[in-house]
Amino acid sequence: MTKVNEVFVAGGQPTVTYIARAHLKLTNAVSDYLNTLYKILSISGTTKSGKTVLVRSIASPENAIWLSGGNIDSIGSFWESIVEHLNAFSQTTETQSDTRSGTSSDEIDLAIKPAGMGLGKKLADGKSWANTDSTTRGRNVSAAVSGLRALMASKIPLVIDDFHYIDQATQGQIIKALKQPVFDGLPVILISVPHRAFDAVRVEREMTGRVQQLEVPIWSPTDLREIASAGFKALGISASDELTNRLTSECFQSPHLMQDFCGALCRENGLTISQSTPISLKPPASWEEFFKKQASGTAKTAFDQLKIGPRQRTDRIERKLRSGGTCDIYKAILLAIAQTGPKQTLSYEEIRTALKDILDGAPPQANEVTRVLDQMSTIARKDRSGEPVVDWDSQFSKLHVSDPFFAYYLKWGAQSQAD
């Protein structure tokens, strides 16, 4: 018997439902890089689009060094992680020895010679000797030196997941430190979200031409349906096209959410293990309730953190909603983002238009909106252990809803927040 949670693996490394999307030749691209080297491979794609699963299928943690950008807060912690992974030594000792040796002998005259005449006998006693003087000196080696030595000795791939989560100053120090090792053939793979794919070049201009880009496209409905098809078949379950298409339409192109939905629908039908006799899945009594139920386990905490803002204040202006009730600017902006669908990339003008749609009255001033978007981006980077759910790019006046879980919550969970 096979368990449902062994087939539909949301957040882990799936086997039965791992879809390589062979038509995109992504696996070939990663393998080709590992066979050619001498560049950094930057892999980008939307959050939970399968970037990590793709790389792990080729460079598993047993055969590569995996670091998480969320755990790197300085160049020091980067090298310390390398040292820890490779069990490198942080101290070296040197011993010098000086050995001297020789032979000494003594003679003893045993003869009896009356008046100086007669037979004589001499006994010789020989001894060998050796003296050794040794001096041992030790010195501490920095994590950067020992880590770099260990990296070049191993030549196994270095993978930094969520590279965009590292602050730019530290990114720059890491890329500068890896520039020569990459030139000498060290495989380095960086994984990030699309709008941060060129961070390695942005922080170190000399890397121009030495960073190879591989974009992991969003999942097509056809590819997402393959997850359901492979999993249901392995469990002895059949599902109509209408049912599978509904799941596909709500997962924001995320294989992670598709895995989640398929497992949840099996449990909704009372199925937890594979079936010896084929059985057909039934749709839930209410799709709306089904999707709202899944939303409660996605990104509510992130929504609440952004809604509160950098700190709770009692002097924020309360604004009237067209749907009834009031809210401050932080909640209003979140509801405005949700109003767009939500789209996963929005311009400032789109956000302002959505604010006009949901507020009963004049929208906030432009500087107020951009200030809050900047604050939300800071909170998302600081308070979340994974990828930030939103990222405001002030240079291009674009808001990126980076996490499909957050986008999903905005659609299905934020409705109750508007009440």
Is 109 a member of any domain?
A: no
Count of structural domains, the chain: 3
pLDDT of residue 300: 87
Average of per-residue pLDDT across 292-320: 84
What's the CATH number where 145 sits? 3.40.50.300
Is 15 a member of any domain?
A: no
Residues 209 and 327 placed together within one structural domain of the fold: no
Residues 234 and 210 placed together within one structural domain of the fold: no
Task: Decide if 5 contacts 176 (C-beta within 8 A).
Answer: no
Residues 311 and 364 placed together within one structural domain of the fold: yes
Residues 309 and 392 placed together within one structural domain of the fold: yes
Average of per-residue pLDDT across 188-199: 90
Is 19 a member of any domain?
A: no
pLDDT of residue 1: 86
Q: Which backbone phi and psi does 298 adopt, to 5 degrees?
A: -100, -90
| CA distances from residue 58 to 21, 31, 53, 63, 409 in whole angstroms, order as listed | 14, 7, 9, 9, 32
Residues 191 and 328 placed together within one structural domain of the fold: no
Average of per-residue pLDDT across 183-211: 91
Average of per-residue pLDDT across 292-310: 87
Q: Which of 159, 190, 215 is the last residue of a domain?
A: 215
pLDDT of residue 418: 52
pLDDT of residue 255: 94
Task: Decide if 42 contacts 214 (C-beta within 8 A).
Answer: yes
Q: Which of 52-56, 58-62, 150-154, 415-419 is predicted with the least confidence, judged by mean pLDDT?
A: 415-419
pTM for the structure as a whole = 0.74
Is 202 a member of any domain?
A: yes
Residues 225 and 359 placed together within one structural domain of the fold: no
Contacts (Cβ under 8 Å, ≥6 apart) of 391:
193, 195, 196, 377, 380, 381, 399, 400, 402
Question: Which of the four pLDDT bands, split at 50, 70 and 90, describes residue 98?
Answer: low
The strand pairing partners of 109, in sequence order, are 122
Is 97 a member of any domain?
A: no
| CA distances from residue 128 to 100, 115, 125, 131, 376 in whole angstroms, order as listed | 11, 37, 11, 11, 83
Question: Which of the four pLDDT bands, split at 50, 70 and 90, describes residue 118?
Answer: low
pLDDT of residue 78: 96
Residues 346 and 403 placed together within one structural domain of the fold: yes
Q: Which of 200, 215, 230 is the last residue of a domain?
A: 215
Does residue 419 carry a pLDDT above 60? no
Q: Which of 164, 184, 215 is the last residue of a domain?
A: 215
pLDDT of residue 296: 75
Closest by CA position to 176, among listed 152, 153, 144, 154:
144
Contacts (Cβ under 8 Å, ≥6 apart) of 239:
228, 232, 265, 280, 281
pLDDT of residue 105: 58
pLDDT of residue 409: 94
Calculated CA dihedral for residues 312, 314, 315, 317, nearest 10 degrees: 90
Residues 79 and 199 placed together within one structural domain of the fold: yes
Tokens of 171: 């990114």
Question: Which of the four pLDDT bands, split at 50, 70 and 90, describes residue 299?
Answer: confident
Residues 289 and 315 placed together within one structural domain of the fold: no
Is 8 a member of any domain?
A: no
Residues 324 and 407 placed together within one structural domain of the fold: yes
Residues 281 and 315 placed together within one structural domain of the fold: no
Contacts (Cβ under 8 Å, ≥6 apart) of 36:
none
Average of per-residue pLDDT across 216-222: 94
Sheet (strand 188-192) strand order: 65-68, 158-161, 188-192, 40-44, 211-215
Is 25 a member of any domain?
A: no
Residues 172 and 250 placed together within one structural domain of the fold: no
Question: Which of the four pLDDT bands, split at 50, 70 and 90, describes residue 127?
Answer: low
Model confidence over 349-378: pLDDT tens digits?
999 999 999 999 999 999 999 999 999 999
Task: Decide if 80 contacts 143 (C-beta within 8 A).
Answer: yes
Average of per-residue pLDDT across 249-254: 92
Structural domain of 329? 298-417
